[in-house]
């Protein structure tokens, strides 16, 4: 329990943090990785380079500071982050290290403004916040390891099949190397893949959505080959595409993530995917087709052209199972033959005019794709009168506010 005085100090430092929050976490990461370079086996180097994680941590620390006397109100956010932490095998023993370097960074940036009293208050508050994370994560580790076919940390999987889905997306079918079964998972969840790349000092971790339904004897992930020249993101996807072959091993954590579909609901469902953002919808749409095939499903996917557009045959085939199903493709730069495809509906963008044809009063909307795509779609849906509660979305990467 924090004293009233500590709570007051924490709350009064929020405005200071609002000004210096990002600088503090930037200093924090720099010092942390200098002292503990091995933590770069856990953190995403590409996110570090782009400063994304700095913002995510700064925002969360601020949110926690604002709600320090009623942390239960930020529990949903904690659970979401804890899913990511659990999928990266973050452990209780990591928290004091992060706490020490966060406090040292506050001191370094604020200098004399960071009095002993303020530092003491932040030390205590961090302890409380970390305690909440640790206990939520413990529950998740217990759940993951107790589940049938489940496990707690990283476990080796063998690539049993590699299937190109388009010019840029390839699926990897993965089975546990020890021959054990696959745990159930929620449609929309992801796994973390950890790999060592020859010549690289640290391991790489990436989250990939599971792109096939649960209940199979394999996991399927579908990876877009990112362009390396414009982004450090491409290091792993290029290695997977070019160097990982059938028979090779990849380490995986158990499925995690909060972005899922309520399969108990019978309301119409509209999937709005942009590019590789289609992947979580593949497990969702298969789950709906298997479990509630009478549910009204509209699946709209936007991509550049037919060559990069994945899963066309698989999605078309779902018409055999789903009783009320509409499939539509939007291409920004279609080739002549793309315009002949039966499900081609529009050249250009997935815009308000197109969406207005798919808005139904009680439908649930699922959105996944690049940030500008998601922002545009969410704005259009709201303008078309869709209730925010019926809009569900996931961004690939550290959580950002849309
Ligand atoms: C991700 C906050 C402690 C490692 C995140 C995210 C937030 C966050 C907001 C982004 C979540 C998302 O992408 O959905 C915090 C807070 C902490 C804490 C408030 C302390 C109370 C730790 C610790 C570790 C850790 C102790 C391990 C040393 C990571 C990693 C990611 C992450 C590896 C994934 C993002 C990346 O690799 O860039 N954390 N975290 N965090 N956190 Fe934490």
Residues 16 and 114 in one domain: yes
Ligand 1 neighbourhood includes 42 CB (under 6 angstroms): yes
Q: What is the pLDDT of residue 20?
A: 86
Q: What is the pLDDT of residue 351?
A: 95
112's CB contacts (< 8 A; 6+ apart) are none
Residues 77 and 9 in one domain: yes
Query: For residue 48, which atom of ligand 1 is closest to its CA?
Result: 38
In a domain, 264, yes or no: no
Distance (angstroms) between ligand 1 centre and the Cα of 135 equals: 15
Residues 87 and 210 in one domain: no
Count up the domains in the chain and report the number.
Answer: 3
Residues 70 and 176 in one domain: no
Distance (angstroms) between ligand 1 centre and the Cα of 11 equals: 22
- Enumerate the known binding-site residues for heme b: 85
**CATH code: domain of residue 233:** 2.40.30.10
pTM over 0.90: yes
Residues 11 and 104 in one domain: yes
Q: What is the pLDDT of residue 136?
A: 96
Ligand 1 neighbourhood includes 94 CB (under 6 angstroms): yes
Cα–chain center distance at 246: 26
Cβ(314)–Cβ(220) under 8 Å? no
In a domain, 360, yes or no: yes
Residue in the structure block whose two tokens are 């789903």: 322
The stretches of 261-348 forming alpha helices (DSSP H) are 279-291, 312-317
Domain of 232 in residue numbering reads as 155-252
Ligand 1 neighbourhood includes 136 CB (under 6 angstroms): no
Q: What is the pLDDT of residue 387?
A: 94
284's CB contacts (< 8 A; 6+ apart) are 187, 188, 260, 261, 271, 366
Residues 95 and 214 in one domain: no
Cα–chain center distance at 11: 30
Q: What is the pLDDT of residue 61?
A: 73
Q: What is the pLDDT of residue 186?
A: 96
**CATH code: domain of residue 287:** 3.40.50.80
Ligand 1 neighbourhood includes 130 CB (under 6 angstroms): yes
154's CB contacts (< 8 A; 6+ apart) are 89, 192, 194, 251, 252, 253
Cβ(69)–Cβ(14) under 8 Å? no
The stretches of 72-115 forming alpha helices (DSSP H) are 75-87, 94-110
Report the C-alpha gap between 134 and 94 in whole angstroms: 10
Q: What is the pLDDT of residue 228?
A: 67
Burial of 185 (0-12, 13-18, 19+ CB in 10 A): buried
Residues 229 and 175 in one domain: yes
Q: What angle do CA 77, 80, 83 make, to 5 degrees?
A: 150
Cβ(155)–Cβ(182) under 8 Å? no
Residues forming the active site: 95, 137
Mean pLDDT by 10 residues, the chain (402 residues): 91 84 86 94 75 66 82 88 95 95 90 91 92 96 93 96 97 96 96 95 95 95 83 84 97 96 95 97 97 97 97 97 97 97 96 93 94 95 95 70 45
């Amino acid at each position: 329990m924090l004293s009233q005085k500590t709570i007051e100090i924490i709350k009064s430092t929020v405005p200071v943090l609002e000004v210096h929050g990002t600088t503090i976490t930037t200093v924090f990461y720099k010092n942390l990785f200098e002292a503990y370079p091995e933590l770069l086996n856990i953190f995403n180097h590409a996110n570090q380079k782009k400063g994304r994680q700095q913002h995510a941590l700064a925002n969360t620390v601020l949110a926690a500071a604002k709600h320090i006397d009623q942390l239960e109100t930020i529990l949903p956010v904690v659970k979401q982050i804890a899913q990511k932490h659990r999928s990266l095998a973050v452990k209780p023993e990591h928290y004091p290290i992060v706490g020490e370097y966060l406090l040292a960074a506050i001191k370094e940036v604020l200098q004399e403004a960071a009095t002993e009293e303020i530092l003491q208050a932040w030390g205590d508050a961090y302890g409380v916040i970390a305690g909440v994370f640790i206990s939520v994560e413990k529950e998740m580790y217990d759940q993951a390891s107790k589940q049938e076919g489940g496990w707690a940390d990283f476990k080796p999987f063998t690539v049993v099949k590699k299937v190109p889905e388009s010019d840029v997306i390839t699926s990897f079918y993965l089975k546990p190397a020890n021959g054990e079964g696959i745990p159930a998972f929620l449609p929309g969840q992801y796994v973390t893949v950890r790999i060592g790349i020859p010549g690289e000092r640290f391991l790489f971790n990436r989250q990939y959505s599971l792109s096939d339904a649960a209940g199979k004897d394999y996991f399927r992930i579908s990876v877009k080959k990112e362009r390396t020249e414009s982004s450090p993101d491409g290091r792993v996807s290029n290695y997977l595409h070019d160097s990982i072959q059938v028979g090779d091993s990849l380490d995986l954590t158990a499925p995690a993530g909060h972005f899922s579909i309520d399969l108990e609901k019978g309301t119409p469902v509209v999937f709005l995917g942009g590019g590789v953002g289609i992947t979580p919808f593949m497990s969702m749409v298969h789950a709906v087709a298997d479990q509630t095939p009478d549910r009204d499903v509209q699946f709209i996917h936007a991509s550049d052209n037919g060559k990069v557009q994945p899963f066309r045959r698989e999605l078309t085939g779902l018409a055999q199972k789903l009783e009320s199903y509409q499939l539509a493709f939007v291409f920004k730069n279609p080739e002549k033959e793309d315009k002949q495809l039966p499900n081609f509906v529009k050249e250009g963008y997935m815009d308000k005019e197109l969406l207005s044809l798919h808005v139904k009063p009680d439908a649930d909307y699922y959105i996944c794709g690049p940030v500008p795509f998601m922002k545009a779609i969410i704005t259009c849906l709201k303008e078309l009168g869709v209730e925010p509660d019926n809009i569900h979305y996931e961004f690939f990467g550290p959580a950002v506010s849309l």
